[in-house]
Structure 1
Amino acid sequence: MALSNNNSKRAVLGTGVLALAGLASMPLHAQDAEQIIKDRCLACHTVSGDAEAPSFSRISQQRKTPEGWLMTLNRMTHLRGLELAAGEKRALVQYLSDTQGLAPEEAAPYRYLLEQDTNRVESGIEPALAETCSRCHSAARFSLQRRTEQEWKYLVDFHMGQFPTTELHSLARDREWYKIASTETAAELGQRFPLITQEWNNWQQAVKTDLMGRWRITGFVPGKGEFDAWMSAVKTSDNHYDVTLDGHYADGTLLSGAGKATVYTGYEWRASLTIDGVKMRQVMAADKKANRLEGRMFLAAEREIGGEVSGVRDQNMAALVAVQPSYLRAGESAELTLIGQYLKGDIDLGEGVVVEKILSRADDRITLIAKATGSEGLRTPRVGTAADNAGLAVYSELARVEVLPANAVSRIGGAGGKMEKVRAAYRAVGYSAGADGKPGTDDDLRLGYMPASWSIKPADEVAAHDKDEQYAGSINAAGIFTPGDAGPNPERKMSANNVGRLTVVATVADSSAKVEGEGSMLVSVPDFVRRVLD
Structure 2
Amino acid sequence: MALSNNNSKRAALGTGVLVLAGLAGTPALAQDAQQIIRDRCLACHTESGTAEAPSFSRISEQRKTPEGWLMTINRMTHLRGLQLPVEEKRALVKYLADTQGLAPEEAAGYRYLLEQDTNTVENSINQGLAETCGRCHSEARFALQRRTEEEWKYLVNFHMGQFPTTEFHSLARDRQWYQIAHNDTAAELGKRFPLITQEWNNWQKAAKSDLMGRWRVTGFIPGKGEFDAWMSAAKTSEGHYAVSLEGQYSDGSALQGEGKATVYTGYEWRASLTIDGVKMRQVMAADKKGNTLEGRMFLAAEREIGGELNAVRDQGKAQLVAIQPAYLRAGQSAELTLIGQNLQGDIDLGEGVVVEKVLSRGADRITVIAKATGAEGLRSVAVGESAKASLVVYSELARVDVTPANAVTRNGGAGSAMAKVRANYRAVGYSAGADGKPGTEDDLRLGYMPASWSIKPADEVAAHDKDEQYAGSINAAGIFTPGDAGPNPERKMSANNVGRLTVVATVADGNTKVEGEGSMLVAVQDFVRRVLD
Q: TM-score, normalised by structure 1?
A: 0.97
Q: Distance in 2 between matches of 1:442 and 1:25?
A: 50
Query: Residue type of the partner of 2:229?
Result: A
Distance in 2, Cα, partners of 1:321 & 1:531? 40
Give the 3-state SS of the residue equivalent to 1:381 in structure 2: strand
Post-superposition offset of 1:29:
1.3
Identify which range, 259-268 or 378-387, moves more after superposition. 378-387
Amino acid at match of 1:106: E
**Do the aligned partners of 1:255 and 1:276 also contact (CA within 8 Å) in 2?**
yes
Instruction: Verify the 8 A CA contact 2:235 2:241 in the aligned structure 1.
Output: yes
Aligned to 1:162: 162
Amino acid at match of 1:426: Y
Residue equivalent to 2:6: none
User: Do 2:23 and 2:260's aligned partners in 1 also have CA atoms closer than 8 Å?
Assistant: no
Deviations 1:267-295 (A, max 9, x none): 00000000000000000000000000000
Residues in 2 aligned to 1:264 and 1:434: alpha-carbon distance in whole angstroms = 42
**Could you tell me whether the CA contact under 8 Å between 1:222 and 1:307 is conserved in 2?**
yes
CA displacement at 1:17 relative to structure 2: 1.0
| In 2, Cα distance between equivalents of 1:421 and 1:30 | 42
In structure 2, relative to structure 1, the CA distance for the partners of 1:377 and 1:14 (3 Å cut) is closer
1:263 partnered with 2:268: no
1:354 maps to 354
Q: Which string of whole-angstrom CA distances, capped at 9 and with x for unpartnered residues, describes residues 119-175 of structure 1? A: 011011111001110110000000000000000000000000000000010010100
CA distance in 2, matches of 1:460, 1:153: 44
- Aligned equivalent of 2:466: 467
Aligned match of 1:6: none
Task: Verify: 1:34 aligned to 2:19, yes or no.
Answer: no
Deviation sequence 1:308-364 (CA, Å, 0-9, x none) = 000000000000000000100000000000000000000000000000000000000
CA distance in 1: counterparts of 2:372 and 2:208, whole angstroms: 44
Q: Does the CA-based 8 Å contact 2:424-2:479 persist in structure 1?
A: yes
Is the contact between residue 156 and residue 181 of structure 2 (CA under 8 Å) also seen in structure 1?
Answer: yes
- The residue identity in structure 2 corresponding to 1:504 is V
* Counterpart code for 1:282: Q
Partner residue, 1:488: 487
Partner of residue 301, structure 2: 301
Write the deviation string for residues 439-492 of structure 1: whole angstroms up to 9, x where unpaired. Answer: 000000000000000000000000000000000000000000000000010100
Residue aligning to 2:46: 46
Q: List alignment gaps of at least 5 residues for structure 1.
A: 1-10
What's the secondary structure of 1:68's corresponding residue?
helix
2:218 corresponds to which residue? 218
Whether the 8 Å contact between 2:132 and 2:181 is mirrored in structure 1 is yes
Partner of 2:456: 457
Measured in 2, the distance between the counterparts of 1:254 and 1:187 equals 54
TM-score, normalization: structure 2? 0.97
2:190 matched to 1:190? yes
Q: Out of 190-199 and 13-22, give the one that drifted further.
A: 13-22
Query: How many angstroms apart in 2 are the aligned matches of 1:531 and 1:191?
Result: 31
C-alpha spacing 1:532/1:163, structure 2 compared with 1 (3 Å): closer
**Alpha-carbon distance between aligned partners in 1 of 2:142 and 2:82, rounded to the nearest angstrom:** 24
**1:370 paired residue number:** 370
Q: Deviations over 1:63-82 (max 9, x none)?
A: 00000000000000000000
Verify: 1:136 aligned to 2:125, yes or no: no
Q: Deviations over 1:9-57 (max 9, x none)?
A: xx83343111111433222211110000000000000000110000000
Structural RMSD (CA):
1.0
Question: Over residues 224-253 of structure 1, what are the superposed CA-to-partner deviations in whole Å (9 max), with x where a residue is unaligned?
Answer: 000000000000000000000000100000
Q: CA deviation at 1:527?
A: 1.3
1:264 and 1:533 map into 2 onto residues whose CA distance is 20
Indicate the SS of the match to 2:110: helix
- Does structure 1 retain, via aligned residues, the 8 Å contact 2:74–2:532? no
Counterpart of 2:313 in structure 1 is 313
Take 2:337 and 2:416, find their aligned partners in 1: how far apart are those partners?
45
Q: In the aligned structure 1, how far is the partner of 2:129 from the partner of 2:12?
A: 22
- 1:509 aligned residue: 508
CA distance in 2, matches of 1:14, 1:264: 15
**Where do 5+ consecutive residues of structure 2 fail to align?**
1-9
Contact 1:322/1:388 (<8 A) preserved: no
1:13–1:529: 8 Å Cα contact kept in structure 2? no
Cα contact 1:13–1:530 (8 A) shared by 2: no
Paired residue for 1:177?
A: 177
Write the mapping of 1:328-339 to structure 2, written as runs, cut at 5 A.
328-339=328-339
Distance 1:217 1:529 in 2: 37
Aligned pairs for 1:91-110 (under 5 A) are 91-110=91-110
| Aligned position for 1:201 | 201
Letter in 2 for 1:446: R
5 Å-filtered alignment, 1:101-120, equals 101-120=101-120
Q: Distance in 2 between matches of 1:378 and 1:189?
A: 42
Amino acid aligned to 1:58: R
**Secondary structure at the counterpart of residue 12 of structure 1:** helix
Please give the secondary structure, in 2, of the residue aligned with 1:13.
Answer: helix
1:23 and 1:68 map into 2 onto residues whose CA distance is: 16
Aligned pairs for 1:245-260 (under 5 A) are 245-260=245-260
Q: Is the 8 A contact 2:318 2:343 kept in 1?
A: yes
Percent of matched pairs sharing the same residue: 81
Once residues 14 and 165 of structure 1 are traced to their aligned partners in structure 2, the CA distance between those partners, rounded to angstroms, is 23
Structure 2 match to 1:229: 229
Give, as a single letter, the amino acid of the residue that structure 1 aligns with 2:462.
A
Which residue does 2:150 correspond to in 1? 150
Residues matched between the structures, number: 523
State the distance in 2 between where 1:123 and 1:224 align: 32
> How many angstroms apart in 2 are the aligned matches of 1:28 and 1:421?
39
